[in-house]
């Protein structure tokens, strides 16, 4: 059975990168060595793996990667730190059109 990895890297400049691969160790090495000069991480090396999750279904892995890419850095850090309480708070809709919106 093939496995896929969705991962988050912390770049040297503090920014986060989210990616998907079927070989995590190879992909991390590619990021570190700067194999692709047009890559987001090329000028932000060294990078550090802060989170990853394993999937057996490529469609599910792609869906999760796309979802995480839309998240704020605070939400990504909450995921990486295993902070479920903060992740839930950051996931809540807080705009004025939401039914639970109550201005202070």
Q: Which domains does the chain have, with CATH numbers?
A: 4-70 (3.40.1440.10)
Q: What is the pTM of this model?
A: 0.88
Burial (0-12, 13-18, 19+ Cβ within 10 Å), 4: buried
Say which residue, 29 or 93, is predicted with more confidence: 29
pLDDT in tens, 44-101: 999 999 999 999 999 999 999 999 999 999 999 999 999 999 999 888 866 666 666 5
Q: Are 7 and 65 in contact (CB under 8 A)?
A: no
Side-chain-side CA neighbours of 88 within 13 Å: the count stands at 3
Can you give the pLDDT at residue 101? 58
Tell me if 7 sits within 8 A of 52, measured CB to CB.
yes
């Amino acid at each position: 059975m093939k496995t896929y990895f969705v991962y988050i890297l912390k770049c040297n400049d503090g920014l986060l990168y989210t990616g998907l691969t079927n070989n995590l160790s190879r992909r991390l090495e590619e990021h570190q060595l700067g194999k692709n000069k047009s890559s987001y991480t090329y000028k932000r090396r060294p990078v550090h793996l802060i989170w990853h999750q394993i999937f057996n279904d490529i469609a599910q892995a792609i869906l999760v990667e796309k979802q995480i890419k839309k998240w704020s850095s605070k939400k990504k850090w909450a995921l990486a730190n295993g902070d479920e309480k903060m992740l839930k708070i950051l996931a809540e809709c807080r705009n004025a059109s939401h039914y639970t919106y109550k201005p202070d």
